[in-house]
Amino acid sequence: MKGLFKSKPKTPTEIVRLTRELLKFVDLNSFPKEWKRDEKMSELSKYLRELKCILYGSSEAEPVSEACAQLTQEFFSENTLRLIIVCLPRLNLEARKDATQVAANLQHQQVQYENPDMALHYGGMLRECIRHQSIARYVLESENMKKFFDYIQFPNFDIASDVSATFKVLFAA
């Protein structure tokens, strides 16, 4: 009888959105009552574990690239990475470990920069990151460096000039 009422599994996009909403509560420290806080923190831990499972796979299954791509797109579209970083000290030990692994894995995921609506946002995030010499070195030595030359010739002027600004910061670092 219990199996009849199982809910439909959540998509990676939904899990990221739910995680983001819970992180906003943690960031604002706006839990109405102590028991509600514990319940929400438990829920957040569960979602962080699910995110980790999507990105790394499990003992039964390898990660699915389409699910990873969905998760990554949603994660970076609404600044969820910043929320995880800001809220990390307020998470319990297991949730911290999961959040750290999720953030580390996301640094290696391919983000679709070809989306013109998001390109300028990603460019700004990238420029902030490459102000650190170690990250600038990593970008310069990566295979993806070649893509900058394609993007700088992009027909959209805003994107091409954004890439040019990124080059300027990259070579100044």
Among 15-29, 68-82, 114-128, 142-156, which stretch is predicted with the lowest mean pLDDT? 114-128
Q: In angstroms, rounded to a whole number, what is the distance separating the alpha carbons of residues 80 and 98?
A: 14
* Contact of 47 with 87, CB cutoff 8 Å: no
> DSSP code of 132?
S
Query: Radius of gyration of the chain from Cα atoms?
Result: 19
* Residue 5 banded pLDDT, cuts 50, 70, 90: low
The dihedral built from the CA positions of residue 70, 76, 77 and 80, taken in this order, carries a sign that is positive
Residue 165 identity (one-letter amino acid): A
* Residue 81 banded pLDDT, cuts 50, 70, 90: confident
Q: What is the pLDDT of residue 119?
A: 79
Q: In angstroms, rounded to a whole number, what is the distance separating the alpha carbons of residues 25 and 159?
A: 34
Q: What is the pLDDT of residue 38?
A: 85
For residue 61, pLDDT beyond 90: no
At which residue do the structure tokens 């219990």 appear? 2
Q: In angstroms, rounded to a whole number, what is the distance separating the alpha carbons of residues 35 and 118?
A: 39
* Residue 151 banded pLDDT, cuts 50, 70, 90: confident
Looking at per-residue pLDDT, the higher value among 18 and 142 belongs to 18
Average pLDDT, the chain: 85
Domains of the chain by residue range: 10-106, 116-172
Q: What is the pLDDT of residue 49?
A: 96
Closest by Cα among 1, 9, 5, 103 to 48: 103
**Assessment of whether the complete model's pTM goes beyond 0.85:** no
Could you tell me the CA-to-CA distances from 3 to 6, 7, 8, 27 in Å, in that order?
6, 9, 11, 36
